Amino acid sequence: MNKKITALFLAILMLVMPLAIYGCGDGDKTPIESLTDDTDAPGSNTQPSDDEKDTEEETEPTYEPDPDAKFPGAAGVGSLGATVYFDKIKISSIKNKLVLYENDFSGENPLEGMNYDVYSGYSWDKDTNDFSVKALEEAEGAEADYVLAFEDPSSVGSLVYFGDPKWNYLQYSVRVMISDIGQGGAVIYFGYVDSKNYFALEIGAENNTKINVYRVENGNKSLVDSMPYKAKLDEWFAVGINMKREDIDIYVASTLIFSLYKEYDPEDAYWGGVGLGSWLTAQSWDNLVVKSNETGEILYQNDFSDPESLTRDFVPKQYSGGSWGTIDAWTDYWVIEDDDEEHGKVLKLNTAAYSGCVVMVADSIGNQNYTNYTIDVDVRRDSGAEAWLVFFNGKDDKNYVMWNIGGWGNSKTAYETIFEGSKSTGTQIDDMYEMNQWYHVTLIVKPNAVYGYVDGVLKQVYTG
C-alpha cells in the first residue's frame, strides 16, 4: 500500500514541477529568455531559430550619408515654358542600396512633400497650380498612366524639388516627355542644397539644339558643360543621374552624355589624326572643319574650293583589310570637282570599286595638337553599297579609330578601333542613309569620350 501511495505522489510531483518553473523567475519570460548571457557566448550550442534568421536577413538597411561624397542635395524637375511631363521619379542611395524617394503619381497625395523654388535667372511666380497630376493613355485601349504635368508656356523657370538636401551619393532617375519646347525645354535639377546652390540639366535648350548643364553656387550661375542635342518630341525618354563620391554621370535616353568632374590620365586621352574614307562607295564631302573645343581655334578647315589642297593637305591611306592599297594613282579617284549650286566645289571619291579608301589630314596624323576637338563635315552617298568612314585618334597607320556610318551594306553604324593593326568593332546600331542626299556629320572628340552626330541627332558615344 505504501508503495502505491509513494508512486502516486511521485507522479503528481512530476506534473507540478514544470508549472512551478514556468511560473517563477522574471515575470512572463520563457525559460530561454531567463537564461544567463553566458548561453550566447562564443562556443555556445545555442543557435538562432529559423524565424530569428529570417528576421536578421530581412532587416532593411538604414540610410547614412557618405562623409567622402562631394555633391549633396535633393532632386527636382521643372520647365522653361515647355509643355512637359514627368513620371516614375526615383532617388536611391548608391552606398546603402536603399530607395529614399519614389513617386509614380498614382497615390492619394502625389504632390505631397514637394517644395517650390525659382530657377536662377528666371521669374516663375511659384504658382503651385502650374504643376498637376494628369492621366495620359500610353496606348489606345491601355490603362491611363498618371504623370506630373507642366503645361503653362507663360511660366518660365519653374523648380519643384523633393527629398532631403543633405542626401548624397545618389542615383536619380525620371522619365520625361516634352510636347512643346517653349522657351528652353525641360529642366532636371539635382544636387539641390538650397535656393542658391544646385545643378540644372536643360534638355531642349537653345531651340532644341543643345543640352546644357549649369551650376548655381552661392547664387552665381555658370555653364558646366554643353553638347549638341535634339530631343525627340512627344516621346518618353529616361534621364539618369549618378552623383558619386567625386564625379557625376548623366544619362539621357540610355546614353552617357556628361561625365562631370571626372579625372582622367592625359596619356589615355583621345588625340591624333583626322580622316575621311569609304568602303565600296562613291561619295562627296564638303565644308570640313576641325575646331578646338577649349579655345575655338580652327585646327583645319577646307571648303575644297582649292584643288591644290587635295595633294597638299591630304595623305592617302588604306584602311586595314581594304583593297585601296593596290592603287598608286589615287588622285585619279579622289578629286575636287564642281557640284551643285549650293555646295560649289566638293571633294569626291568617284569610284565604288575599292574598299578601305582613306585620305587623312596631313598634319593631323600623330599630332597632339589635335586633342579635345570637334570634326564637322557635309557628306553624301553617290553610288555603291555603304555610307562613310570618319577617322579620329590617328597615331599612325596601325593605331586609330573610325566611325563606320551606314556600314554593313548601309544597315548599321559602329565605332571600330584599330590597335597595332588589329580591329575590334563596338556596339552596332541599326542605321541607314539615302542616296544623293546631303547629311551633316559631327564628331566631338573629348579627352575621355567621343560623341557622334548625324544632322544634329546624337547617334553613338565612344568610350574606348
The CATH number for 402's domain is 2.60.120
Length of the chain: 464
Which of 243, 263, 283 lies at the terminal end of a domain, its last residue? 263
> For residue 293, what are the β-bridge partners?
none
246: which residues sit within 8 A by CB, 6+ positions away?
A: 70, 261, 262, 263
pLDDT along the chain (464 residues), means of 10: 43 40 35 27 34 51 91 97 96 93 92 94 94 81 82 95 96 97 96 98 96 97 95 96 96 93 84 95 98 95 95 88 73 89 94 92 93 97 97 92 97 95 93 97 94 94 89
Number of domains in the chain: 2
* Residues 229 and 299 grouped into a single domain: no
Which three cell numbers, joined as nine digits, stand for 282? 562613291
- 91 shares a domain with 202: yes
Look at residue 60 and tell me if it is in a domain: no
Q: What is the pLDDT of residue 61?
A: 74
Reported as type and span, the H/E element at residue 8 is helix 2-23
Asked whether residue 80 falls in the same domain as residue 198, the answer is: yes
Residue 267: partners with Cβ closer than 8 Å, 6 or more residues away: none
Kindly state whether residues 244 and 279 are assigned to the same domain: no
Last residue of a domain, one of 221, 247, 263: 263
Nearest to 74 by CA among 188, 152, 155: 188
145 falls within a domain: yes
CA 345 to chain centre: 39
pLDDT value at residue 397: 84
Answer yes or no: do 329 and 395 share one domain.
yes
Residue at which a domain ends, from 208, 232, 263: 263
242 is a domain residue: yes
| pLDDT score recorded for residue 328 | 62
**Cα(236)–Cα(7) distance, rounded to whole angstroms?**
85
Amino acid 207: pLDDT: 95
Q: Report the alpha-carbon distance of residue 172 to residue 225 in Å, rounded.
A: 19
Label residues 94-108 b or e (16+ Cβ within 10 Å = b). bbbeeebbebebeee
- Please give the pLDDT value at position 200: 98
Domain that holds residue 340: 267-462
331 belongs to a structural domain: yes
Task: Identify each DSSP E strand in 3-82 by its residue range.
Answer: 74-79
Give domain status of residue 20, yes or no: no
Extract the runs of DSSP E, i.e. beta strands, from 220-333: 220-228, 237-243, 248-252, 255-260, 273-279, 281-292, 298-302, 314-318
pLDDT at 302: 97
CA distance linking residue 415 with residue 429, whole number of Å: 10
Per-residue pLDDT, 140: 59
292 closest CA partner among 283, 284, 301:
301
Instruction: Return the pLDDT at 142.
Output: 61
Same domain? For 210 and 127 the reply is yes
pLDDT value of residue 327: 62
What sign for the dihedral angle of Cα 424, 430, 431, 432? positive
Statement to judge: residues 87 and 208 lie in one domain: yes
Q: How far apart are CA 388 and CA 405, in angstroms?
A: 5
Q: Are residues 258 and 194 in the same domain?
A: yes
